[in-house]
Amino acid sequence: MDEARRGGEAQRGSRSSEVKGSAWGGVDLGGTKIEAVVVDAVGRPLGNARHPTPGDAGPKDVVRAIFDALEDASRSAGLAPRRLAGVGVGAPGSVDIQMGTLARVSNVGKGWTEPYPLAGALSDLVRGPVVLGNDVQVAVTAEYRLGAGTPYRSVLGVWWGTGVGGGLVLDGVPWRGRGAAGEIGHVVVNPGGSRCGCGRRGCMEAYAGRGCLEHKVRKAVRRGEKTMLFEWMRKKDRTRLTSSIWKKALDERDVVATRLIDNAVLMLGVGIASAINILDVDAVILGGGLGTRLGIEYADRIYEAMRPHVFVPERQPPVVLAQLGELSGAIGAALLAEPPLH
């Protein structure tokens, strides 16, 4: 890909070669988990691993956790991290691809606002090139090349998880604007409304992002409302309300969970429809932890929630589920580090 940092000649077609240059690492850095994958020259996973994201750690500890996840993914592929041709990292927040820095990460770590040289710090550990990209943009690019987006020329990706991220491919070209294109989670759906993790009010993420949803659950409990969400969290030995816990709560018809997710779907419909009215893309790809966990039923519900707000309803684009599942972000990150196919 044009935006990737290139390096080395790839030995293609061998799934299990031990020769450096035949495999690339990819990391999807999320608010609750770090997903690492090792892929071959055509993006096929050779091994993967998932580690929890350090909840209250600083950037240095997060980089170490990324390396640990890469080590496990590499072992499952029969390699060592230092035998990878390159590593890509998809991360939330403000990514400077040229400088290799990451800043303003509201859902990862503690107090991570200033630019941190993540690419350089991780490169020192893996002893190879590292390139950064926006987490959702790389996931959408992977779906466009290898998954749900392959039938279309232009797509909007909406990644519904700890936050709500977005990514764009327009007429076959990943579109980043000046670096912040696709940030659909920060489309305002209710001026002066709920406080978002970004510090502003009324963003779509403030109503649909899992981090903000958890905050709303805690407020509901303080008001005396009853929910099993935190009981299931303790039983699963989790420190946060993960996507699987939300899914269980919906399946069990937990009143608080159902009300909040119903409202999240409405707000997603408003925000996505507004983006469609501007971009008129061929399809919306729904991914992310909550998106993939809740599945096609909720993709259909979001489609219906969009309908009242789409300017040309007879040409409303479909909402399709990401096909690469929770590995899409990590695979997309690995594609950043691969040299182009010839």
Q: How confident is the model at residue 112 (pLDDT cuts 50, 70, 90)?
A: confident
pLDDT score, position 237? 92
- In a domain, residue 12? The reply is no
Residues 101, 158 within the same domain: no
pLDDT score, position 111? 64
Across 53-179, the runs of DSSP E, i.e. the strands, are: 87-91, 94-96, 101-103, 130-134, 155-160, 164-170, 173-175
- In a domain, residue 227? The reply is yes
List the beta bridge partners of residue 260: none
CATH code (residue 70): 3.30.420.40
- In a domain, residue 90? The reply is yes
pLDDT in tens, 148-160: 999 999 999 999 9
Q: How far apart, in whole angstroms, are the C-alpha atoms of residue 21 and residue 11?
A: 6
Residues 204, 299 within the same domain: yes
Residues 232, 279 within the same domain: yes
Q: Count the domains in the chain.
A: 2
Q: What angle do the packed helices 255-279 and 288-306 form, to 10 degrees?
A: 70
Residue 118 structural domain: 24-139+327-337
Three-class SS of residue 35?
Answer: strand
- In a domain, residue 144? The reply is no
What pTM was estimated for this model as a whole?
0.81
Residues 120, 177 within the same domain: no
- In a domain, residue 315? The reply is yes
- In a domain, residue 16? The reply is no
Residues 209, 127 within the same domain: no
Residues 164, 252 within the same domain: yes
Instruction: State residue 131 phi and psi, 5-degree precision.
Output: -125, 145
Q: How far apart, in whole angstroms, are the C-alpha atoms of residue 149 and residue 167?
A: 12
Q: How far apart, in whole angstroms, are the C-alpha atoms of residue 174 and residue 44?
A: 21
Maximum Cα interatomic distance, the chain, rounded to a whole number of Å:
62
- In a domain, residue 147? The reply is no
Q: How far apart, in whole angstroms, are the C-alpha atoms of residue 175 and residue 167?
A: 8
pLDDT in tens, 197-246: 888 999 999 999 999 999 999 999 999 999 999 999 999 998 889 999 99
Residues 173, 277 within the same domain: yes
pLDDT in tens, 45-85: 999 999 999 877 789 999 999 999 999 999 999 998 788 99
Residues 252, 331 within the same domain: no
Residues 180, 274 within the same domain: yes
Sign of the torsion formed by the C-alpha atoms of 309, 299, 168 and 173: negative
Q: How far apart, in whole angstroms, are the C-alpha atoms of residue 26 and residue 29?
A: 10
Residues 99, 204 within the same domain: no
Strand bridging mode 33-39 / 319-321: unpaired
Residues 77, 188 within the same domain: no
Q: How far apart, in whole angstroms, are the C-alpha atoms of residue 74 and residue 151?
A: 32
